[in-house]
Amino acid sequence: MFLELKSHITNIKQSCGGSGTCTAKLNQATNTVEPPCTSTSGSSDSHEPSLGLAKAQDSLMERLLVGNIQGLYPKTNQSKLPFLRELSSKEDFMIIALTETHLSAVVKEAEMNIPNYTSFRTDRKARTHGGTITYLRNDIASNANMVLSYSDGHIGLQEIHIQVCNMFFLNCY
């Protein structure tokens, strides 16, 4: 497993021209992959710990925001969605991938709207909590489609094919 992971990271690094600016880091002590620190300014501070969100910039994917939102529904968590709307307008993320959205079928797409983004969501079936939502910037969402949306009450995932980047994006909880 360790060698497969190391090989996968090496392949990603090579696809970025070997610069290391879009690779995840392999923590050999814990045998885990750490999120990429991709700032080209030399700063290794690519995380915002107060938000619990990791973002990658200037990488193969341009801009990415990933986080466990622990409830996104606007009637119970009124500050989270406005915060994401403001942040996305300032940062112009390509992809915003959130887990543990706590959404259900009664929450309409219009309530979860972020301007200039298209949402793809998978709500947890037969249980509360869980769920995933992926927002794609409209310029890439027009060339994207959900390949897989799955929830069994324990696992929720979505796989989105983004043709303009020739990539598959997986958001899993």
Q: What domains does the chain contain, in order, with CATH numbers?
A: 1-34 (no CATH), 41-172 (3.60.10.10)
pTM of the model: 0.66
pLDDT of residue 2 exceeding 50, the answer is no
43: left (phi over 0), alpha (psi -120 to 50) or beta: beta
Note whether 158 and 146 are within 8 A (CB): yes
pLDDT digits (tens, 9 = 90+) for 64-83: 999 999 988 767 668 899 99
Mean pLDDT of the chain: 74
Per residue in 109-167, pLDDT (tens digit) is: 898 999 999 999 998 887 778 899 999 999 999 999 999 999 887 888 899 999 988 89
CB-based contacts of 67: which residues, under 8 Å, 6+ apart? 51, 52, 53, 54, 97, 98, 99
In whole angstroms, give the CA distance from residue 99 to residue 70: 7
